[in-house]
Amino acid sequence: MTTTTVPSAFAPSARMLVLLRNALLPILLVAEVIFFTVAAPGFLSAANLANVVINSADLALLAAGVTLVVLLAGIDVSVGPMLGVVAWVGATLFVAGMPPPLVVVISVLLGGALGAINGGLVVGGRISPIITTLGTAAIFKTVLFILWDSTDVFAGPVVPALGPARAGGVPLVGLVVLAVFGVLAYVLRHRVFGRRLFAIGNDAEGARLLGVPVGRTSFAAYVLVGALVGVAALIYVGRVGVVQATAGNELTLPAIAAVVVGGTSILGGEGGVLRTLGGLAFIALLQNGVVLMGVPPLWNGVLVGAAVALAVAFDVLTRRTLDKRIGAKK
């Protein structure tokens, strides 16, 4: 009998494409480090690298959270303003004399509650994640402005591990970040919850047909983003030392940049937090190295924006090539 020809010649090129998607970031990261080591004096010093870690620890936790919902084929663009609200509440409680451990717990719970608003609207209200979180971002911004009430809140680190403290030159927040990424990487690989995120991001309807609780899992992911924002908010307070009217707003774009540059697909279903850590390193070192070279920090926006656009373009183009093979079946 005859059958339609099967384009098996496609398979090796598809494997090459998958390989390229995985190998691109490590190559770029190495190139970046070599470039700045040569071009920017002091870049590779322990003191500078420790500074980079301290300055990007809060961003790292936001990016970790965003990774979870991007894997679901969702997004959260409210993480920056959400951080602002939690930072104000945490700093205010701390200054008022509340015991530090309690401040930490309340911040995490508050973040989780704000994340639950996003999750509830996305899952229960069936509103697209980008619109939902654009809306809540605007609300969080306004709430912070009202809470701020023309008065900056000055506060130091709530606990030493969430501030610029170092032990033997190693910044303690760096250890916190590593611990969080380690736990999330474990969850994504070895817990059923993590595997479900991937399945939903690939094909939510197909996952439902195979018995995956799509709504519950998605909701939990948005709550988890909020809880991570809660911890990040206190790191922000420890780093900046003051909560102002627009606190956190500047962090949304670099958080998403770290995720997409890291190689988690903006279309969902592939990636992970360790990739995001790589993407974050790329973005943070880029911003740092450029400043060391004497370029005004004003240009950071251009660099991060360009990195996002290029990363997403690469993602979408290569994925379209892979998907052609799937679509060809119909």
Partner 1 sequence: MRPILSVSGLSKSFGATAAVTDVGFTLGAGERLAVLGENGAGKSTLIKIVAGVYPPDGGEMVLDGAPHRPASPGTALAGGVSVVYQEPSFFPRLSVLENLYVGREPRDRAGQVDWRRMRGRGEELFRRLDVPVELLTRRMDALSLAEQQLALIARAVDVEAKVLILDEPTSILTDAEVRRLFLIVQRLSEAGVGVLYITHRFEELEHVADRFIVLKDGRLAGDLPASEADHDRILEMMSGRPVNAAISRSPARPGRVMLETSGLTVPGAVSDVDLTVRGGEVVGLYGLVGAGRTELALTVFGVLRPSAGTMRVDGEPHTPRGPRDAMARGIAYLPEDRKTLGIFPGMDTLSNITAVKLPELLGRLGVIRRAEERELATSWIDRLRIKAPSPAFPVTGLSGGHQQKTLFARQLATEPKILILDEPTRGIDVATKTDIQQRLVEVARDGTAVLVVSSDLPELLAVSDRVYVMREGRMAAELSGDDLTEDAVLRATMGVHR
- Residue 295: partners with Cβ closer than 8 Å, 6 or more residues away: none
Contact region with partner 1 (CB under 8 A), list: 2-10, 23-31, 142-150, 301-309:
2-10
Assess 314 for contact with partner 1 (CB under 8 A).
no
Assess 320 for contact with partner 1 (CB under 8 A).
no
Identity of the residue, 166 or 195, whose beta carbon is nearer to partner 1 in the bound complex: 195
Q: Name the amino acid, one letter, at 131.
A: I
Assess 1 for contact with partner 1 (CB under 8 A).
yes
Assess 325 for contact with partner 1 (CB under 8 A).
yes
Which one, of 175, 277, 188, 248, lies nearest residue 224 by Cα?
188
Residues from 52 through 91 that contact partner 1 (CB under 8 A): none
Identity of the residue, 181 or 198, whose beta carbon is nearer to partner 1 in the bound complex: 198
Contact between 224 and 65 (Cβ < 8 Å): yes
Identity of the residue, 142 or 321, whose beta carbon is nearer to partner 1 in the bound complex: 321
How many residues can be counted in the chain?
330
Assess 328 for contact with partner 1 (CB under 8 A).
yes
Q: How many residues bind partner 1 (CB under 8 A)?
A: 43
Assess 315 for contact with partner 1 (CB under 8 A).
no
Contact between 12 and 266 (Cβ < 8 Å): no
Site map 6..35 versus partner 1, x via CB under 8 A: xxx-xx--xx-xx-----------------
Assess 246 for contact with partner 1 (CB under 8 A).
no
Identity of the residue, 269 or 289, whose beta carbon is nearer to partner 1 in the bound complex: 269
Whole-angstrom distance, CA of residue 158 vs CA of residue 123? 34
Whole-angstrom distance, CA of residue 225 vs CA of residue 78? 10
Applying CB under 8 A, among 140, 148, 198, 236 the residue interacting with partner 1 is 198
Contact region with partner 1 (CB under 8 A), list: 3-11, 36-44, 110-118, 303-311:
3-11
Q: How far is the CB of 126 from partner 1 (least distance, A)?
A: 19
> How many Cβ atoms are within 10 Å of 201's Cβ, its own excluded?
23
Contact between 247 and 87 (Cβ < 8 Å): yes
Q: How far is the CB of 225 from partner 1 (least distance, A)?
A: 21
Burial-class residue 222 by CB neighbours within 10 Å (0-12, 13-18, 19+). Answer: buried
Identity of the residue, 169 or 327, whose beta carbon is nearer to partner 1 in the bound complex: 327
Residues from 257 through 286 that contact partner 1 (CB under 8 A): 265, 269-270
Which one, of 110, 101, 50, lies nearest residue 82 by Cα?
110
Instruction: List C-alpha distances in Å: 251 to 61, 227, 288.
Output: 11, 16, 15
- Residue 256: partners with Cβ closer than 8 Å, 6 or more residues away: 63, 66, 75, 77, 308
Residues at the site binding partner 1, with contacts judged by CB under 8 A: 1-8, 10-11, 14-15, 17-18, 189-192, 194-195, 198-199, 201-203, 205-212, 265, 269-270, 322-323, 325-326, 328-330
